Every structure is written in C-alpha cells, then in structure tokens.
Amino acid sequence: MSKQYARAGGWRIDLDKVPAAIKIFNDALDELSELTNDVGYAQEIRPMGDDHVSRTLADEVSSRHLGGSRGTIWAAAALEGELTKAIRSLENARRNYRRAEDANRHTVFGG
C-alpha cells in the first residue's frame, strides 16, 4: 500500500502525522503573533548616545528593520500568512481524509 501525503507549502506530510503538524504550526503561529505584537510597538530604535554616529546608526537600523517593504515587520507578517495557509491546507486535508475514511467504512460495513 502506498503512503498518502498532505501538502502544505513546500512540505509533504504523512496523513497520519497531519494532526501533529497542525499543532506544531499553530504553536509556531502563536509564538510569531506574540513577537509581531512586540515588534509592532517598536516605532524606532533609540540611539545609545546623543552623538551623530549613535543617531545615524539608530536611524539606519530603524528604517532597515522596522520600516519599508522588506523589514522585520513585513517578514513576520509574511511568515504569519504562510503558516496560516499551511494550517488551512492541512486542516482541509484532514477533513477530506476523514470523509473518505467514513465513506469507506460505510461502504465496507454498510452503516
């Protein structure tokens, strides 16, 4: 008998491991959500000193990591979206597998 798999993103997961994968992805999503909430409060990196070099460095780090279309907030949001899609895909695979199992059981056992 060949193994059956569910696909989520670039992952290929044994159907019998789907519930564990959903839990792992949900746990990761919860942790990521906490981090993105923390990052969302950070409006800027404060300089360590009141000199030109410290202010310039703080401005550069703030713009690179907190702002723009490729900063930390953007990356975290993109990862949240990918995890959410993977979870949805795995939940759909689990539902479809259960339906097929129920239909097979009904056919074999007649009830």
Cβ-based neighbours of 64, under 8 Å, separated by 6 or more: 71
Q: Where are the domains of the chain?
A: 5-98
pLDDT in tens, 2-54: 588 888 888 899 988 999 999 999 999 999 988 877 766 666 788 999 999 99
pLDDT in tens, 44-66: 788 999 999 999 999 888 887 77
pLDDT in tens, 86-98: 999 999 999 988 8
Class of residue 49 by CB neighbours under 10 A (exposed 0-12, middle 13-18, buried 19+): exposed
State if pTM tops 0.75. Answer: no
Cβ-based neighbours of 44, under 8 Å, separated by 6 or more: 58, 59, 62, 66
d(CA 98, CA 76): 33
- pLDDT of 80 higher than 70: yes
